[in-house]
Structure 1
Amino acid sequence: MSGTGKRAGSNPGGKDDHMDATKLRSGYTTGSCAAAAAKAALIMMITGEDIYNVSIVTPKGIIYNAEIVDIKKSADNSEVTCAVIKDGGDDPDVTTGAYVYVTLRKSDKEGIRIDGGEGVGRVTKPGLDQPIGEAAINSVPRRMIKENLEQVLLTGKSDIKGLDVIVSVPGGEKIAQKTFNPMLGIVGGISILGTTGIVEPMSDSAIVETIRTHVRVKKAEGKEILLAAPGNYGITFLSERYKLEDGNAVMTSNFVYDAVRIALSEGFSKMLFVGHIGKLVKVAGGIKNTHSRYGDHRMEILSDIANDDGIRSELSECVMTDEAVRIITEKGLADKVFPKMAELIKKHMEEWAEGKIQIEIIVFSNEYTELVSTAGAHGFMEGV
């Protein structure tokens, strides 16, 4: 996942403020790898000589010195293939170690045409960066490839009229199963991504941009109600309780506020948010990002909602919210606490949406048991 938008609180250097930036190494996107391989292939096509290193300038202005591997050339040098090994730095990037190949072929047809080969996905749904049927090579990588090739053509002496560019990633179809591509309607492989050309370790912005892409897909599919859940627990709950398949819900991770703002910017007026109490109780307290680094406060929030000194000390000793649910239920406070919690979640999220989105809530607890829902939640569920 790649992105350029920064979460409020992130430092301008691009690394999250909770991380020690001096110990984290940035990497390079699949788009940078493809651009570097394309440039090297063209230099070899023009000169006839093998090269093993090439430099490009990424959109962020950082120079990428790429190592070129697995060079193959046709007898007449009209076709050249080479690869760059993807290095995602210290980011937990599933594409790290993948070989990003580019094959260049001379063409009598003027211009530069870019397509995907083995291991590069195809777009099957609207709302993505590329039209349906196109290779999932996003617009910035396409521009990087084209600009680097044009630069070489301008400085090199050649009679090349046109070029066909094929980007491939052997094993990309298997790698893609570990990404959001199947949910987004990208089939057959990974996407060639990157808006800055740089992979920033543990980048929150990359997650937010993935959420944005998924929301855009839902909008392009004509969905009137945006169904969202923080993660796999929510997806499993929706599958077991409501028989919904993977891909129906946008996964927001901890970025609840960001997801609401994205839904607003993409034009949604209705949203159904489904999650475990362990995440959503934080939202009841007005917490915008539910990651533990921003604070826990779950038991304090439940205690404040209960407004009962008799259970405050018991809740303060709880580690898990499912245990807190048991205590609140046994004390006969469930009908008071959980509906109020759900309304507070709804209230904060609708405020984040500037009152322009009707948001309904379903909260579940242990064993995927539905705990509480707001008044319009089940009506929304019928419409998703």
Structure 2
Amino acid sequence: MLNKYVMKNGKKLRYGYTTGSCAAAASKAAAQILLSQHSINNIEIDTPKGWRLMLPVKDIVFDKEKASCSIIKDGGDDPDATTGLSIYSQIKWRRDNIISIDGGIGVGRVTKKGLPIEVGRAAINPIPLRMIEAEVRQVIGEHRGANIEISVPKGAVIAEKTFNPRMGIIGGISILGTSGIVEPMSEEAFKESLSIEMNLLIEDGITKLVMVPGNYGRDLALDKLHIDNKYIFKFSNFIGYILDDALDKKIEKILLIGHIGKIIKVAGGIFHTHSKVADGRLEILTAHLALMGAAPSELEVIMNSNTTEEAVEWVKKYGYEEVFTVLAKKITEKSIQRTYGEIQIGTIIFSMEEGILGICPSGKILMEEFKHE
């Protein structure tokens, strides 16, 4: 266990360590066991973050030609699907001085371009590869060589709970970690995975996207608009980050499709839509209704609605449905400003009860274009 903590939102959260650190530690421990022909209890490694880890060594098996052991992954207080997995390394001597690193059972294989790993190779990222080699070299020196195989017996099952299948990594988890340390509740790792997913789409020749916050928007695009799934990209709460990334990667067209309770925030210039960051849903709706001439008593009812779904009912009752088209235009305007006018953008707003509420003019054009692909 790594006894380092960070305070976030008033909570004390514990750091963890990555699958990359586990693989490096298991490899170093296996090398030490093979060289000495003795079991060990713990192994110490360096991490790119500059922190040293002392980790317990499990499942030791060895003879004169090979050795293997495991390190249990601990993601700290980060909601990490790989926490608790045993990361194994087996090391065998070679007759030259080369260190060769590959993945075994439960480590995924790369099948699509756009990742920092060649197609066909094990999904062990470059920094963990360097960590493994550096730690093993400390033990065996420069004149010996070894074949190292990283495996995760339960990796294939856990991989189904990760982004790996969507990114074309088949058969197991990835061995990851740029710092060797897991920061609890890290948004950066999530954003990085979204950026990688966009890379993969671009590698497949995609230059336009239908962007949705989550599954509801995806389902509307698939089931009601009959848009090809290959264009659909889920951005969670990070619409600003993803628009910036799309601009950098020369995406040409974006159709935004979002539930009013989420995407309305963009009309107010809010580009991180998690409720803990900013809300303003009803305030933005009420402000636009006020500009349309809604009565103070009507504005008060809408402002005090429990949800945006309830507010939609009142808007329709008062006869101001046009506000949804106005909001769609505003969302498009704010998004175009964010991307400096270099991407053609349109917006569709929907609710669960009413379906599509509003579409801006460019949204109608893009919707028809995607429908007829």
Q: Is the structural similarity TM-score above 0.5?
A: yes
Distance 1:103 1:247, change over 3 A: farther
Q: Deviations over 1:2-59 (max 9, x none)?
A: xxxxxxxxxxx996x85236x1000000000000001111111111111121111111
Contact 1:225-1:380 at 8 Å conserved across structures: no
List structure 1 segments (4+ residues) > 6 angstroms apart after TM superposition.
none
**Residue 367 of structure 2 corresponds to residue 378 of structure 1:** yes
Q: Does the Cα contact within 8 Å between 1:283 and 1:345 map onto a contact in 2?
A: yes
Give the Å deviation of 1:109.
Answer: 4.5
Question: Is residue 2:355 matched to residue 1:366?
Answer: no
User: Does residue 26 in structure 1 map to residue 15 in structure 2?
Assistant: yes
* Percentage of pairs with the same residue: 40
- Deviation of 1:382 after TM superposition, in Å, equals 3.5
| Distance in 2 between residues matched to 1:25 and 1:80, nearest whole Å | 32
Instruction: State the match for 1:356 in structure 2.
Output: 342
1:18/1:305 CA distance change after superposition, 3 Å: farther
The alpha-carbon distance between structure 1 residues 88 and 328, as it changes in their structure 2 partners (threshold 3 A), is same
How many residues end up aligned between the 2 structures? 363
Determine helix, strand or coil for the equivalent of 1:294: coil
Residues 261-312 of structure 1 deviation map (CA, whole Å, 9 limit, x = unaligned)? 1111222222222211110000111001111112321111011112234221
Q: Which has the higher contact order (CA 8 A, sep 6+)?
A: 1
Q: Answer whether contact 2:227 2:371 (CA < 8 A) is retained.
A: no
Distance in 1 of aligned mates of 2:339 and 2:284 = 22
For 1:190, which of 173, 180, 187 is the aligned residue? 173
Residue aligned with 1:89, SS: coil
Change (3 A) 1:113 1:356: same
Q: Does 1:296 align with 2:285?
A: no
Whether the 8 Å CA contact 1:183–1:246 is kept in 2: the answer is no
Query: Which residue identity does 1:232 align to in structure 2?
Result: N
Matches within 5 A, 1:145-156: 145-154=132-141
Change (3 A) 1:43 1:272: same
Q: For the residues of structure 2 that align with 1:318 and 1:283, how far apart are their CA atoms?
A: 20
Aligned equivalent of 2:235: 252
Mean alpha-carbon deviation: is it higher for 294-303 or for 34-43? 294-303
CA-to-partner distance for each residue in 1:64-123, whole Å, 9 max, x for gaps?
A: 11111001113xx21111100000000110100000111111122441111111111111
Gaps of 5+ in 1: 1-12
Provide the C-alpha distance between the structure 2 equivalents of 1:57 and 1:87, rounded to a whole number of angstroms: 16
**So what's the TM-score if we normalise by structure 1?**
0.89
Tell me if the contact between 1:127 and 1:221 (Cα under 8 Å) persists in the aligned partners: no
Instruction: Please identify, of 265-274 and 367-376, the stretch whose mean Cα deviation from structure 2 is larger.
Output: 367-376
Which one of 54, 63, 70 corresponds to residue 83 of structure 1? 70
Matches of 2:366 and 2:227 in 1, distance apart?
15
Amino acid at match of 1:263: A
User: Cα RMSD over matched residues?
Assistant: 2.1
Structure 2: runs of 5+ lacking an equivalent = none
Q: CA deviation at 1:377?
A: 2.8
**Which residue, out of 138, 150, 174, partners 2:125?**
138
Tell me if structure 1 keeps the 8 A contact 2:226–2:371. Answer: no
Distance in 2, matches of 1:382 and 1:196, equals 43
Question: How many Å separate the matches in 1 of 2:178 and 2:187?
Answer: 14
- Residue 6 of structure 1 is matched in structure 2 by none
Q: Tell me, in whole angstroms, the C-alpha distance in 1 between the residues paired with 2:208 and 2:244.
A: 15
Q: TM-score, normalised by structure 2?
A: 0.92
Q: Is the 8 A contact 1:230 1:275 kept in 2?
A: yes
